Amino acid sequence: MGRHAAPVSTSPEPADDPIASARALTKVYGAGATAVHALRGVDVDLGRGRLTAIMGPSGSGKSTLMHCMAGLDTPTSGTVEVDGQVISSMSQRQLTNLRRTRIGFVFQAYNLVPTLTAAENITLPLDIARTPVDRERFDTVISTLGLGDRLTHRPAELSGGQQQRVACARALVAKPSIVFADEPTGNLDSKAAGEVLGFLRRSVDDLGQSVVMVTHDPRSASYAHRVIFLADGAIVGELHDPAEADILEALAALGEAREQDAS
Amino acid sequence: MLRVSLREIRAHGVRFALSVLAVILGVAFVAGTFILRAMLSDTFDSIVESSLQGDAYLRSVATTSDDGLPDGPPDPGAGFGGARDGIDITLADEVAAVDGVARALPDVQGPIVIVGADGTAVVNGQAPSLALALHTDDPAVDLVAGEVPVGPNEIGLESGALDSSGLALGDTTTVVLGGEVREVTVVAEGAYASPTSGATLAFLDADVAAELFAPDGLVNSIAVYGEDAVSQSDLVDAITETVLADHPDANLEARTGDDVRAEASEAINEIIGFIGTFLLVFASIALFVGAFIITNTFAMSVRQRQREYALLRALGASPAQVFAVVLTQAFAVGLVGSAIGLLSGVALVDLIRWILSRFGMNLTGEAPVTAFTAVLCLGIGTAVSLVAAAVPARRAALTAPVEAMRDDVTVTEKSLRWRALVGALLLLIGVAATYVSVAVSTDEDPYWGLEPGPWLGIGAGAVLVGMLALSPVIARATLGVLAAPFVAAIKPLGRLARGNVMRNPRRTASTAGALMIGMALVAACTVLAASARESTTAIVETEYRADFVVLSATNAVPAEAVTAIADLDDVARADALSTAPVELSGPGLDPTATTVIGAPPTAFGTTLEIETLEGDLATLADGEAALHTSAALEYGWQIGDEITLRTDVTELTLTVGAITNSQALNADVTIGEDQLAELLGPAPANVVMVGVDGVDGVPLTELGDQLDAIIEPYVVVTALTADELVNQIADRVNQALVIIYALLALSVVIAVLGIVNTLALSVIERTREIGLIRAVGLGRLQLSVTIVIESVLTAIFGTVVGVVVGVALAAAVRSVFADQGLSVLAIPWDQLVAIVALSAVVGVLAAVWPAIRASRLPVLEAIAQE
Ligand SMILES: Nc1ncnc2c1ncn2[C@@H]1O[C@H](COP(=O)(O)OP(=O)(O)OP(=O)(O)O)[C@@H](O)[C@H]1O
Ligand SMILES: [Mg+2]
């Protein structure tokens, strides 16, 4: 597929072998007059071995979508499948186990357990699952992230960028099927953000990971293979291998479309 | 600002719940103590009222100073207010003849053993069994049913005693009176106007009673009942003018009934005061421990709201205003807690009253809450809360406005250097003071003008407070060691838990601090009890050399039984130890009431093996006296000093020939049995123990059977081998310990609440972190296990430190009291290990609720938590 100058409303084109997919996914918070429809029937397939970015205005349902797809939240209706398993009907216990083994997370902030060292934080999911640490993988991840000399430090002794990189390492070290990152660079300056995003992209390209991230920053989104645009709980368009300018353009178009809608 | 303060409480009320509970428990204890004290005092006043109903009393002038209570076992006949000589019973007739006097009844009473319907002695705990003279139309006793007993084979019973004996009017039963077993018929039921506080009371024919209990014709006092319309003072004047004038040498005095009752009440209230003070000590411990919960709660709440306070400061609030915001919350916590505590105290007393009534002791009246009690309790609870919250409040007040701008709350842990310094200094002072007290007490040439007691108190206090101050400093290292097995065994939860308890050593230490104090006291009591047991049994084992020791539960072995035992063919020796109340004086000591022991001098080396510190017990045969070391130390007497013993009958001056540290001879003075007989005159000696040795070759079991056959009718008399005696003494120490443990239990319970509190609050504080580790795959159960490990680590830390401190202090106390019976230091390792193991269980229990709370936190919301 080529580049689009403006977001194109696409019917979901089923990728050959999606790592995660959602069908008719809805999420309603509250009930009655105050009900908030955070997701209104989202169909999406997230490609295996791809870096996917999700963009959209504040309150458009990005975080909600991530949470539902990661088994952190239960959707109101619709199905979610991760790596061949239907997770939307799983019990809490199964979900906990899924998170432990198949899914990695990076949050916007507050990613690390303050009492553990960087190394201990990185191996935490493995320790919890009582899986032996794959030394080779660990070393690869560490060297890719350039964290070798920071492993014995506690989170409080690390910079924000370093903390996010440790969080990324933690998400990746257990070889999860998919990594979800909700605004992983939201708190970072552009240089630190670049480091983290560069790493995420490399983990896709070099390690074969599948990564989904939410971002507000077109520059960050330009690291992605594919950018999905969300508005009012629905997917309104997508771009493939976009440049920063394409994304800006698409966002502007989205904004105009909404203003017209409003008027 | 008040609004901010109250809003916070409303929004986060649950956080303060356990603080309020801590105040409630402490204040309930205080309130309960005060109310109970007032109630006991009321009860005993009304007992005094109903047992001393005379309009006037005739008695002899007190011969000893009126300074309070006799040191020896309380002698029911002696009464309070100093020792008095007996007066001639025949004076009653003279008094009765005085104008205006309706009746004059001599006070005759003495011990009795009543066998109930079930064949066992009627006893009510430690309360005495007494027989009293019952007169026709006795003004003090209400004859409920039957007739006044006549002759030696009829008795009456007080309603309560009749009840608990299971006997009915007309039944015959056995009693032991004046050392003889008697068959008697129950012919009367009598009642007093107020409850009898558990004593078992029986009534006898007045003449029989006089014969038994006043064989020398002397009684303690004569109760005088005036004719109607004669005032008490007129009665006293009339008696003074007549009877007293007729006997100018008899040293008599007449007092109004009101005076005598006031005197008795005062003396009883003094004892009740002691009980109250004793309970208040435990109440203060409970409050002190509770203060830790409050401090922790406020410290955590302040930490969490640091940004909010910074915002207030940025908006122009002064530090004083922020301080006030926090203190207002503490005030509310204290006030609510102490109000509920006061009510709980009333409920507690009702419960105690109910329990006591099950044991036959009825307390009068409603639980009285005086304005004083109420104000005091509210004041104490509120003050404790305010003081406990002051440090966290100061911290809140000193929040820099710029903190509001910071993105994440910086965890600025102040350096522990000051605490380390202050703690080490206090510990040093404590150890030094303790050392001084030990040195002073063991010094051969005692007292450089120093008393060991206060030094020991200062030392123990300083060591405890010093350890409290130091505990965060030692927390890291100690917890590291304690956590090692968990870290190794339970991966990765052990490591997570260790991190959580070590990240804020101050908090962990103060959480554990409450438990530390409770456990230090428990450990100290355990060690002291074991030492007391061990010391006593060691002495008992060496001292009691007889094959059998015959004892009575009423502390009086009947004379008949003693004779019968001595007459057995198979008995080689039957050495009776007897006691008698005397007045002791000597160099530097004015006459003082005490108890003297009389022993056959040949018993030493045969049935009794008593080591002397100085001198020789053989001198008793030459009419010399042996002193107990505690008396020798107290009065500063030495071998060769002359001491004087005086009774109603005569006066003996004896030379001190030996000083002992004996358990068997535990009275101030021991003399030969002949000297005791001389002192007592016609009155019988009170035999407390008979050491029996069999003739060589008689099997012990056979001798035992023969003894049992003799003592069986006396119901309360037992023959024990040395081993059985040791066990009995050990049991008695254990019983005393149970009460102390029960009182300490409250502070341990509050300490456990403290752990629950800290864990629950730290779960709230760590909500995001918990969400995070749950998000990366930690299961609910695993999360719970982590919290349980944290709790167990905290509990074990507090307990281990507490036990170490407690054992050390107990060892010091033991040294100080070495010559007062604590000759051996026994450290019951098994019990101490059990205490630590128990604390682990306590840790698990304390974690239940916080763990459930934590595992129920929804993952997403937890992460999103601000
Ligand atoms: N727990 C909740 N309860 C009620 N409404 C919620 C809840 N969480 C989210 N919402 C609502 O759902 C909608 C989508 O929220 P979501 O957090 O997914 O937005 P977002 O796209 O991630 O926004 P942002 O870019 O600001 O993070 C919003 O309108 C929000 O108000
Ligand atoms: Mg979001």
Q: Which residues of A touch B779 (CB under 8 A)?
A: 93, 96-97, 100, 128
Token pair belonging to B310: 């910074």
pLDDT at B75 over 50: no
- Tens digits of per-residue pLDDT, B350-385? 888 888 777 666 666 666 778 888 898 899 999 999
Cα(A113) to ligand 1 centroid in Å equals 25
Q: What is the dihedral of CA A120, A121, A124, A127, to 10 degrees?
A: 0
Cα(B526) to ligand 1 centroid in Å equals 60
Question: What separation in angstroms does the CA of A244 have from each of A5, A145, A161, A180, A225?
Answer: 12, 24, 22, 22, 12
CA atoms within 13 A on the CB side of A92: 12
Contact assessment for residue B196 and residue B167, using Cβ atoms and an 8 Å cutoff: no
The share of chain B scoring above pLDDT 90, in percent, equals 9
Q: Where are the domains of chain B?
A: 85-255, 477-542+723-866, 548-720
Q: Does B780 touch chain A (CB under 8 A)?
A: yes
pLDDT at B88 over 80: yes
Give the domains, in start order, of chain A with CATH numbers. Answer: 48-63+89-262 (3.40.50.300)
- What is the distance between the alpha carbons of residues B139 and B225, in angstroms, rounded to a whole number? 8
Q: What is the pLDDT of residue A2?
A: 40
CB within 8 Å: B492 and A128: yes
CA atoms within 13 A on the CB side of B79: 26
CB within 8 Å: A107 and B863: yes
Q: Which of residues 405-434 of B touch A (CB under 8 A)?
A: 407-408, 411
Q: Which residues of B touch A100 (CB under 8 A)?
A: 776-779
Residues with CB under 6 A from ligand 1: A 29-30, 36, 38, 56, 58-64
Average pLDDT over chain B reads: 82
Contact assessment for residue B280 and residue B77, using Cβ atoms and an 8 Å cutoff: no
Closest partner residue to B782 (CB to CB) among A113, A128, A187 is A128
What is the pairing mode between strands A211-214 and A178-182?
parallel
Which atom of ligand 1 is nearest the CA belonging to A230? 21
What is the complex's ipTM, to 2 decimals? 0.70
Contact assessment for residue B112 and residue B177, using Cβ atoms and an 8 Å cutoff: yes
Token pair belonging to A93: 């216990």
- Rg from Cα positions in chain A: 18
Q: Which residues of A touch B411 (CB under 8 A)?
A: 114, 156
Give Cβ neighbours of residue B371 (< 8 Å, ≥ 6 apart).
Answer: none
Say if residue A211 is exposed, middle or buried (CB neighbours under 10 Å; 0-12, 13-18, 19+): buried
Q: What is the mean pLDDT of residues B183-202?
A: 82
Q: From first to last of its 263 residues, what are the pLDDT tens digits of chain A?
A: 444 444 444 434 445 678 999 999 999 988 878 888 999 999 999 989 899 999 998 889 998 898 888 888 888 999 999 988 898 888 877 888 888 788 888 877 767 777 778 888 888 888 777 788 888 888 888 887 777 788 888 888 888 888 888 888 888 888 888 999 888 887 778 887 888 888 888 888 888 889 999 998 888 899 899 999 999 999 998 899 888 888 888 888 887 777 666 55
Which atom of ligand 1 is nearest the CA belonging to A56? 21
Cα(A127) to ligand 2 centroid in Å equals 29
Q: Which residues of A touch B500 (CB under 8 A)?
A: 115
- Tens digits of per-residue pLDDT, B669-702? 999 989 998 888 877 788 888 999 888 888 888 8
Which atom of ligand 1 is nearest the CA belonging to B861? 1
User: pLDDT grade, residue B186 (50/70/90)?
Assistant: very high
Question: What separation in angstroms does the CA of B85 have from each of A12, A229, B222, B223?
Answer: 114, 109, 13, 16
User: pLDDT grade, residue B90 (50/70/90)?
Assistant: confident
- Tens digits of per-residue pLDDT, B741-787? 877 787 788 888 888 888 888 887 788 888 888 887 788 888 888 88
pLDDT at B241 over 50: yes
pLDDT at B216 over 60: yes
Q: What is the pLDDT of residue B686?
A: 85
Q: What is the pLDDT of residue A11?
A: 39
pLDDT at B78 over 60: no
Q: What is the pLDDT of residue B64?
A: 55
Q: What is the pLDDT of residue B47?
A: 77
Nearest CA in chain A to B860: A72
Q: Does A130 touch chain B (CB under 8 A)?
A: yes
φ, ψ for residue B748 (rounded to 5)? -70, -40
Ramachandran region, residue B170 (left: φ > 0; alpha: ψ -120 to 50; beta: rest): left
Q: What is the pLDDT of residue B800?
A: 92
CA distance A125 to chain B (A): 6
User: pLDDT grade, residue B518 (50/70/90)?
Assistant: confident
- Candidates B768, B850, B777, B773; CA nearest to B511 is B850
Cis peptide before A14 (omega within 30 of 0): no
Q: Which residues of A touch B777 (CB under 8 A)?
A: 96-97, 99-101, 125, 128-129
Cα(A142) to ligand 2 centroid in Å equals 28
pLDDT at B80 over 50: no
What is the pairing mode between strands A226-231 and A51-55?
parallel
Q: Facing residues of B661 across strands?
A: none
**Residue with the larger pLDDT of the pair B449 and B557:** B557
Q: Which of helix, strand or coil describes residue A42?
A: strand
Cα(A68) to ligand 1 centroid in Å equals 12
Q: What is the mean pLDDT of residues B857-861?
A: 78
Q: Hunting for tokens 């709370």 — which residue is that?
A: B853
Nearest CA in chain A to B783: A128
pTM score, whole prediction = 0.73
Q: What is the mean pLDDT of residues B108-126?
A: 80
Q: What is the mean pLDDT of residues B516-545?
A: 85
Q: What is the mean pLDDT of residues B141-162?
A: 88
Contact assessment for residue B325 and residue B312, using Cβ atoms and an 8 Å cutoff: yes
Q: Does B772 touch chain A (CB under 8 A)?
A: yes
Closest partner residue to B499 (CB to CB) among A92, A116, A123 is A116
